[in-house]
């Protein structure tokens, strides 16, 4: 599969590295071309780099992996290049301190991306930090990590399920894109528990 990545930070590094190791073609695109080139070289010799437009128009799926504050600027720069494409949104719009949603009572980040681009957006990979995605594979207590996904387009969802499986994880359907806000709020809650020193798993009873 060909995967374009918008961003050159920790999430772009972690997921891009794993997908490249799984045999996918990866292109890193960022506002800072030199930073994109350095990340691509670090991930592997076959990973390419370019600008945001290059990544937006590359291949079968595009990962949006930028800080929430930069989302609007990145989407403005790529224009219509994402229309009709599969876009994976791993962005968490969270305000510190207090770990509250930057989106407030408004549309989720995923919905904002979909409305701005006309892309087939799938919310995924937002529940864990980059350190988890660097694990090979991300297994806990002998079980593969479940990765919740929200989206409306069947083909886009199928693509993301494949990319999750390639990490050694298990996709977990969590509803349509209208549920992405719930997933983003859950991430904020979990991050808040981590910051306070509480294991989120201790708040949830295991399945029988």
Query: Is pLDDT at 174 greater than 80 in this prediction?
Result: yes
DSSP reduced 3-state for 183: helix
Query: Is pLDDT at 84 greater than 80 in this prediction?
Result: yes
pLDDT digits (tens, 9 = 90+) for 107-144: 999 999 999 999 999 999 999 999 999 999 999 989 99
Beta-bridge partners for 87:
62, 121
| Integer-rounded Cα radius of gyration of the chain | 16
pLDDT at 55: 98
Query: Would you place residue 104 in the very low, low, confident or very high pLDDT band (cuts 50, 70, 90)?
Result: confident
pLDDT digits (tens, 9 = 90+) for 13-71: 999 999 999 999 999 999 999 999 999 999 999 999 999 999 999 989 999 999 999 99
pLDDT at 130: 96
Q: Give me the chain's average pLDDT, please.
A: 95
8 Å CB contact between 168 and 130? no
Within the chain, strands assigned E span 2-6, 25-29, 48-50, 61-64, 86-89, 94-95, 100-101, 120-123, 139-140, 143-144, 146-151, 170-173
């Amino acid at each position: 599969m060909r995967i374009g990545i918008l961003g050159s930070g920790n999430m772009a590094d972690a997921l891009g590295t794993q997908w490249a190791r799984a045999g996918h073609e990866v292109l890193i695109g960022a506002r800072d071309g030199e930073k994109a080139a350095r990340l691509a070289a670090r991930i592997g010799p076959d990973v390419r780099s370019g600008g945001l437009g290059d990544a937006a128009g590359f291949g079968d799926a595009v990962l949006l992996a930028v800080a929430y504050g930069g989302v609007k600027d990145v989407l403005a720069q790529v224009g219509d290049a994402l229309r009709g494409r599969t876009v994976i949104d791993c962005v968490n719009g969270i305000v510190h301190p207090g770990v509250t949603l930057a989106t407030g009572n408004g549309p989720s980040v995923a919905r904002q991306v979909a409305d701005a681009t006309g892309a087939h957006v799938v919310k995924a990979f937002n529940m864990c930090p980059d350190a988890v995605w660097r694990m090979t594979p991300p297994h806990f207590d002998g079980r593969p990590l479940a990765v919740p996904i929200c989206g409306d387009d069947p083909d886009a969802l199928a693509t993301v399920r494949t990319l999750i499986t390639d990490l050694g994880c298990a996709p977990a359907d969590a509803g349509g894109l209208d549920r992405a806000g719930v997933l983003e709020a859950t991430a904020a809650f979990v991050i808040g528990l981590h910051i306070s020193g509480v294991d989120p798993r201790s708040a949830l009873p295991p399945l029988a």
